[in-house]
Amino acid sequence: LTLNCKRCSLPKSINFFCRRSYNTLDAWSNIPEHIKAKQGRRLFLQSGHPLCSLRELLQQQFKGKPINFVEKDSPVVSTITNFDSLGIPKTHVSRSKSDTYYVNKDTCLRTHTSAHQLEEFQKLAESKMSKKGFLITADVYRRDEVDASHYPIFHQMEGAYLWDRNDRESILKDVESVKLDKNLEELVIDEATLENHDDLQAGYSSQETELVSIHLKNSLTLAIHNLVLMTPDTGLDKSQVRYRWTYDSFPFTQPSFQLEILWKGAWLEILGCGVVRENILTRAGIQNHVGWAFGIGLERLAMILYGIPDIRLFWTTDDRFCKQFTPNNITTFQPYSKYPLCYKDISFWIDESFTANDFFEVIRDVCKDLVESVDLIDQYTTKAGKTSLCYRVNYRSMEKSLKNEDVDLLQDNLRKAIASSLNIQLR
Ligand code: FA5
Ligand code: MG
């Protein structure tokens, strides 16, 4: 027997949105039904699901290190936890209502696993640094575009590792232990070698920063390449795999990097990372340490390793997907027939209040997972200054062939929903 909450009708065990303290809705509240409906799926803990296997396999890469392995439950966090604890400025775009799901003004759904950095660093301090790092896995939430590699709920694994600054020997030893062999080195393009880069933190020397950065990049390249080597020969073309490191920027690391993998002829971003800012360690009660942190997008990596072509598939309950994988194994996704694509265009006049993410959100709410992607195909502004947009909505089910009348009805409902909920004028 599952007890359902009277207010939101979700099972009580997972109705994270209805706890007493979150009851006050306000002008910031913007969590749609399609997000609530997915609470409790916990894909990264479902044995056999590719996201669960990938979590296990990545964790295995770091076994043997003195670190904590953590899985987070409720995605509801305060804005202090999600943003302020990481020094994210009050004006940062990621805080806007068009990018983040808010329960209310002070409470949101975590937008990244970095939200838990501070509390996990605090645990290291409490362990008197007998633990030197952590790996956190959790579901994270973002209002984002609609295409094959973006989904409003996805999963991240956050890792961190620290060294005592006075123990240079162990830093050097660890750096030595993650050296890449010649074959692997040839697959890596490193555009972020710090040579012409003076973006250092005041408290750390360039040598120290360089050692930590090398250890960070090599550890991640090795961990991911080990998984690439586990993929069956029938799947990923291993001779075509390329890794590319470039600079990135995060308020909580400096310098910061990102890793991309060449996939289907294009670079796909897999993770962001960098040297942890000293003030975050200080805030956690850690002194005289230096180290790195990263955040991997698990879906992106799973798509490459398992050959999963569309991010929506992770959420399907179709047995043809779920039953083809076995726990802690990487096998190549066997597509069941691909159903026909049907597209419809939608045009409207906008004013300055329009944000594309609001439009995408209505699409996700009305059409659920039946929309594969949405493309802006035309845009113009009249002499009088009125702007018109035309989007192409690509409909395709992962499970069945959509009938024309199904798509007409969806498009009709979509038109009605955007006309009533957005400040636009349909054309
Ligand atoms: C972050 O989220 C940082 N917190 C990562 C980090 C951690 C940096 C620790 C430094 C230290 P970013 O926004 O780039 O960074 O997201 C990380 C990864 O999540 C991306 O590289 C991508 O793989 C994945 N990702 C981002 N948005 C989506 C989405 N909408 N759908 C699926 N995966 C996504
Ligand atoms: Mg990024």
Percent of the chain with pLDDT over 70: 95
Q: Do domains 12-322 and 342-426 have the same CATH topology?
A: no
Among 19-23, 54-58, 121-125, 320-324, the range scoring the smallest mean pLDDT is 19-23
Query: Judging by beta carbons within 10 Å of its beta carbon (0-12, 13-18, 19+), is residue 401 exposed, middle or buried?
Result: exposed
pLDDT beyond 70 at 376: yes
**Arithmetic mean of pLDDT, 61-71:** 96
* Gap between the Cα atoms of 192 and 245, Å rounded: 6
pLDDT at 298: 98
273 C-alpha to center of ligand 2: Å? 9
Instruction: Give per-residue pLDDT as tens, 240-277.
Output: 899 999 999 999 999 999 999 998 889 999 999 999 99
Among 20-34, 56-70, 291-305, 364-378, the range scoring the smallest mean pLDDT is 20-34
pLDDT confidence tier of residue 21, bands split at 50, 70 and 90: very low
48 C-alpha to center of ligand 2: Å? 28
Which residue bears the tokens 């959509």?
A: 402
pLDDT at 208: 95
pLDDT confidence tier of residue 20, bands split at 50, 70 and 90: very low
Among 14-18, 203-207, 228-232, the range scoring the smallest mean pLDDT is 14-18
314 C-alpha to center of ligand 2: Å? 21
Measured CA to CA in angstroms, residue 247 lies from 10, 221, 250, 275 at distances of: 42, 15, 10, 12
- By alpha-carbon position, which residue is closest to atom 30 of ligand 1? 150
**Arithmetic mean of pLDDT, 405-419:** 97
- By alpha-carbon position, which residue is closest to atom 19 of ligand 1? 297
Domain assignments of the chain as residue spans, ordered by start = 12-322, 342-426
* Gap between the Cα atoms of 304 and 307, Å rounded: 5
pLDDT beyond 60 at 19: no
- By alpha-carbon position, which residue is closest to atom 29 of ligand 1? 150
112 C-alpha to center of ligand 1: Å? 7
Give the atom of ligand 1 at the shortest distance from the alpha carbon of 273.
10
113 C-alpha to center of ligand 1: Å? 9
Query: Judging by beta carbons within 10 Å of its beta carbon (0-12, 13-18, 19+), is residue 130 exposed, middle or buried?
Result: exposed
Q: What CATH code is assigned to 12-322?
A: 3.30.930.10
How much is the mean pLDDT over the chain?
93
How large is the greatest C-alpha to C-alpha distance in the chain, in angstroms?
70
pLDDT at 24: 72
Q: What residues are in contact with ligand 1 under a 6 Å CB criterion?
A: 112, 114, 142, 144, 150-151, 154, 156, 158, 250, 253, 256, 269-274, 293-295, 297, 299-300
- CB 345: neighbour CB atoms within 10 A? 12
pLDDT confidence tier of residue 9, bands split at 50, 70 and 90: low
pLDDT confidence tier of residue 11, bands split at 50, 70 and 90: low
159 C-alpha to center of ligand 1: Å? 13
Architecture per CATH, 342-426: 2-Layer Sandwich (3.30)
pLDDT at 183: 93
**Arithmetic mean of pLDDT, 344-359:** 96
- By alpha-carbon position, which residue is closest to atom 10 of ligand 1? 273
Give the atom of ligand 1 at the shortest distance from the alpha carbon of 300.
23
Give the atom of ligand 1 at the shortest distance from the alpha carbon of 270.
23
**Arithmetic mean of pLDDT, 99-110:** 93
